[in-house]
Amino acid sequence: METNNQIIKEAIVQIYTRINNKLQKPTFGILTKYKNKYWVITVHHSIFDNNKYFCNSVEIWSGVHPDVAKSYNKNTNSQLITKYFLPNDINSFIIDMDNDLIAFPISQTSLYAYNLDGYIDPIKIGDLAFIAFLDYADENNVLSKYLDGIIGNVSRINNDYAVISAKGSAGMSGSPVFKIINDKFYLFGIYTGTPQTTPVTMEAVINFSKVSFLNNVFIDKLK
């Protein structure tokens, strides 16, 4: 389903974990709606190392965590969307370890959500793709979120993922990725890292971006 810049900005969230009550660096995710249910979709490695969870709790915020803002002597209008405790809540998650995806159920929210109803996976080599994430501006001592991202072309398509010709980095994990057609945005995947390389991989493509597809098999599990 198509969307616009405002909905993308509002639908992108940040996922924070705690280890022994210590706040860890966040990953991005996207708030979605499917069949009247809400889910935040992000990377499996946000809370798992291989198949073992490494944190005690998970917090999903609409923007930067207040403790992070406070460390810069700033405030934030971010809202806590939900919180989970591990291992108690793990059975409520939808997990696709092979493709590095996870979906967290959201009971209810008044925030914008990307509508996955009627979802299709319409990409081909050469398509323009936008890897979307957040940054923050200081507005009267309040960290206000704005939409940022990088753009590249689809350079390779595999069964479960695509490679985008844009330089990826660790801080982008969980970012939603959209196909752009006539200034409209169509969600098709989640940034999961950089693709595996071989000794003969050209240096130019080592840091390209790997995007796991939100395919119909994964989406159907969200019913």
Can you give the pLDDT at residue 60? 97
Can you give the pLDDT at residue 119? 64
Q: Which parts of the chain fold into alpha helices (H)?
A: 5-11, 66-71, 216-220
Can you give the pLDDT at residue 153? 95
131-173 tens-digit pLDDT = 999 999 999 999 999 999 999 999 989 889 999 998 888 889 9
Cα of 203 vs its chain's centroid, Å:
27
Which domains does the chain possess?
2-114 (2.40.10.10), 120-215 (2.40.10.10)
- The answer, yes or no, to whether residue 204 has pLDDT greater than 60, is no
Q: What angle do CA 2, 29, 156 make, to 5 degrees?
A: 65
Can you give the pLDDT at residue 193? 87
CB 129 within 8 A of CB 136: no
